[in-house]
Chains A and B, each alone.
Chain A
Amino acid sequence: MQRRKFIKSVASTSLITSLGGFPLSAFAKEDLIKLTILHTNDLHSRIEPFPMDGSRNEGLGGAARRATLIQKIRSEAEHSLLLDAGDIFQGTPYFNFFLGELEFKLMSAMKYDAATIGNHDFDAGIEGLAKQMPLANFPLLNANYDFSDTELNGKIKPYKIFQKGDLKIGVFGVGIELEGLVAAEMYKNTRYLDPLKKANHYAKMLRKEEKCDLVICLSHLGYKYRGDKISDIVLAQQSKNIDVIIGGHTHTFMKSAETYYNLDQKEVIVNQVGWAGMMLGRLDFYFERNRKGKCVGCGNSLIK
């Protein structure tokens, strides 16, 4: 019960961050481009809201209500992307019985733009995931699993570039080490590669070669751990060229997005919204349209 109260009180003051630094009113409307990123993580087959059984999460979540919210925001947004950070599968009988079929159909109907792969997305085996993929009208992105000796060979791309008006947005995915977390017979010959190395490689490529205005990492690494295990925070601090990390796995209800400084002393935004679709994350990015090669509003903190 405490948890619910907490969530409600935070959500009621829904504007969590103020606009940092330069007042937006300083720009003419045509100077600014706005991009709205909507995101979920760890949906865990929560198709219907949690049952009204007196438990902590009763009445929360539900795909049909989330769809309404997404549609409303999308209809008002200049440009938008809808992303998911993995663990789409497992957690209700919908998965036990239909093995992810409905999860992918619903996300396609909601017009998700991309998702990454979580450890539970292997729960019907690698061939189980491969079997449902034709139902997903959105790419599953991962840059640090080598699927070349599996049924997913050629089906998973490391990144995708989205063109939204004048904005070019690069999105790539990274996943957690599977050994010890997923039964070996489920992930089979999938090879886990260093997510930090792969993230830096693709982020650099998206930034320098593809000249993306925004580089987004969909991560199923987890928010943070004791010790130096790779996490979203470690990735943020040890990376270059990533602007945003949309996380999952640890089911962390972050009160607000956080910023960390990367190896270039540039800000990286990290966000995660719990699990089971109880919340929808929303990040609105404001870009100064460049005409003169000089940024007026730069040099300020992105999120205050």
Chain B
Amino acid sequence: MRKFTFFLFGLCLLGLQLISCKSVNYLTNVEANRLDVSSESNLVPDPAITKLITPYKIELDKVMNEVIGETAIDLKKERPESTLGNWMADAIHRKAEEKLGEPIDFAIQNYGGIRIPVIKKGVITRGKIYELMPFDNKILVLYLNKSEVEELVQHIVSARGWPVSYGIKINELTKEDISITINEKALEEGLIYKVALPDYIANGGSRSYFLKDKKRKDLQYFIRDALIQDVVDFRSKNEVINSPKEGRFIIVKKEE
């Protein structure tokens, strides 16, 4: 760069005015800062920007603040089993069956995909479900044989437990011995199990690489939409959500 400039400069001196001698500005110093954008940084919101946002916010708040159902208990996110996880996995199970038009064996939801710690006892707004599941993950059904189900269960046990739906019971008796039952029966060779789960997991997310090439059906159904529909369905039957822990998923306490 510098040499190049010297060269150009030289040409100028020689009076070869055929090319334009643009002077070069040299970068000599840089200051780097990062600035907080927060309520404590004394920044008054720009009224023009607020004005742009307002009509969208009003429209959104109308939809998001709508009460769509109710829960009888605090739905809490915990591992390995939780009230929030049980409801979510059950809802995915129910909605996957409706969409597929036939029974499935169980559903799972990855723990990291649950984006809020709790839905408090009482009414549930649509906005709460958007907070719970902001991303557009879809429900997929995977077709797995016995050893593939075992591999999947092993994976979620080593992640210290993800939400699983009714239909499956996982009991880690010892490090080496995990009891799995589906609809009260042990896994059988030769059977194919239908498992509903987020496309994110089926496509290898959360280190679930082994699922990437498994046979699947994309239900084209956002998990968030399924959850909202499940809440609405409870309400239309005059019911409230109640999903206590019931021993679906037991893991050995870590001895540390």
Q: How far is the CA of A98 from the CA of B49 in the complex (A)?
A: 17
> Judging by beta carbons under 8 Å apart, are A110 and B49 in contact?
yes
For residue B41, CB closer than 8 A to chain A, the reply is yes
For residue B17, CB closer than 8 A to chain A, the reply is no
Of B24, B49, B134, chain A has the most CB atoms within 10 Å of the CB of B49
Q: Mark interface residues in A148-176 (1 if CB within 8 Å of B CB, else 0).
A: 00000000000000000011000000000
Picked from B37, B63, B127, the residue with its CB within 8 Å of the CB of A69 is B37
Q: How far is the CA of A271 from the CA of B32 in the complex (A)?
A: 9
Q: How far is the CA of A71 from the CA of B46 in the complex (A)?
A: 9
Picked from B31, B36, B136, the residue with its CB within 8 Å of the CB of A8 is B36
Picked from A48, A167, A300, the residue with its CB within 8 Å of the CB of B25 is A167
A59 to chain B: closest CB distance in Å?
4
Across-interface contacts of B127 in A (CB, < 8 A)? 93
For residue B210, CB closer than 8 A to chain A, the reply is no
> Judging by beta carbons under 8 Å apart, are A68 and B33 in contact?
no
Q: How far is the CA of A183 from the CA of B136 in the complex (A)?
A: 11
Scan residues 59-92 of chain B and give those whose CB is less than 8 A from a CB of chain A: 59-60, 63-64
> Judging by beta carbons under 8 Å apart, are B33 and A282 in contact?
yes
Q: How far is the CA of A303 from the CA of B214 in the complex (A)?
A: 50
Picked from B2, B31, B60, the residue with its CB within 8 Å of the CB of A93 is B60
Scan residues 166-216 of chain A and give those whose CB is less than 8 A from a CB of chain B: 166-167, 180, 183, 207-208, 211, 213-214
> Judging by beta carbons under 8 Å apart, are B30 and A285 in contact?
yes
> Judging by beta carbons under 8 Å apart, are A61 and B37 in contact?
yes
Q: How far is the CA of A24 from the CA of B44 in the complex (A)?
A: 33
> Judging by beta carbons under 8 Å apart, are A64 and B204 in contact?
no
User: Closest chain B residue to A287 by CB distance?
Assistant: B25
Across-interface contacts of B136 in A (CB, < 8 A)? 90, 96, 123
> Judging by beta carbons under 8 Å apart, are A285 and B27 in contact?
yes
Q: Mark interface residues in B1-38 (1 if CB within 8 Å of A CB, else 0).
A: 11011101100000000000011111111111111111
For residue A277, CB closer than 8 A to chain B, the reply is yes
Of B2, B25, B33, B34, chain A has the most CB atoms within 10 Å of the CB of B34
Q: How far is the CA of A167 from the CA of B25 in the complex (A)?
A: 7
Across-interface contacts of A266 in B (CB, < 8 A)? 1
For residue B181, CB closer than 8 A to chain A, the reply is no
Known: A69-B37, A273-B34. A298 touches B6 (CB 8 A): no
> Judging by beta carbons under 8 Å apart, are B49 and A106 in contact?
yes
> Judging by beta carbons under 8 Å apart, are A282 and B24 in contact?
no
Q: Mark interface residues in A209-247 (1 if CB within 8 Å of B CB, else 0).
A: 001011000000000000000000000000000010000
Interface residues on B, range: 35 or more
Scan residues 136-161 of chain B and give those whose CB is less than 8 A from a CB of chain A: 136
> Judging by beta carbons under 8 Å apart, are B27 and A302 in contact?
yes
> Judging by beta carbons under 8 Å apart, are A22 and B28 in contact?
yes
B219 to chain A: closest CB distance in Å?
14
Interface size on A (CB < 8 Å)?
A: 83
Scan residues 253-304 of chain A and give those whose CB is less than 8 A from a CB of chain B: 254, 256-257, 266, 269, 271, 273, 277-291, 293-295, 297-298, 300, 302-303
For residue A77, CB closer than 8 A to chain B, the reply is no
Across-interface contacts of A22 in B (CB, < 8 A)? 28-29
Q: Mark interface residues in A9-44 (1 if CB within 8 Å of B CB, else 0).
A: 011001111011110100000000100000000000
Q: How far is the CA of A279 from the CA of B64 in the complex (A)?
A: 27
Picked from A68, A269, A271, A291, the residue with its CB within 8 Å of the CB of B44 is A68
Binding site for A on B (CB under 8 A): 1-2, 4-6, 8-9, 22-41, 43-50, 52-53, 56-57, 59-60, 63-64, 127, 130, 134-136, 199, 203-204
Q: List 20 A-B contacts (CB under 8 A).
A: A20-B29, A64-B49, A65-B41, A67-B48, A68-B43, A96-B130, A97-B59, A167-B25, A211-B24, A257-B30, A277-B37, A284-B33, A286-B27, A286-B28, A288-B25, A289-B25, A293-B8, A294-B6, A298-B2, A298-B26
Apart from the given pairs A65-B44, A279-B34, A290-B26, 9 other A-B contacts in the complex at a CB distance below 8 Å: A15-B31, A16-B32, A24-B29, A96-B134, A123-B136, A208-B4, A269-B30, A280-B34, A293-B5
Binding site for B on A (CB under 8 A): 7-8, 10-11, 14-17, 19-22, 24, 33, 47-49, 59-69, 71, 90-94, 96-98, 102, 105-106, 109-110, 123, 166-167, 180, 183, 207-208, 211, 213-214, 243, 254, 256-257, 266, 269, 271, 273, 277-291, 293-295, 297-298, 300, 302-303
